Amino acid sequence: VELLGEPLVLWQDSTKQWRAALDRCPHRWAPLSEGFVDPEQKRLTCAYHGWEFEGDGRGARIQQAEGTAEETALRSRR
**Three-state secondary structure along 39-70?**
CCCCCEECCCCCCEECCCCCEEECCCCCHHHH
Q: Please, which pLDDT band fits residue 27 given cuts at 50, 70 and 90? A: confident
Which one has a higher pLDDT value, 40 or 37?
A: 37
Give the tens place of pLDDT for each residue, 38-68.
Answer: 888 888 999 998 889 888 888 888 877 777 7
What are the structural domains, with CATH classification, of the chain? 2-75 (2.102.10.10)
List, in order, residues 6 or more apart from 21 with CB less than 8 Å away. 8, 9, 32, 44, 53, 57
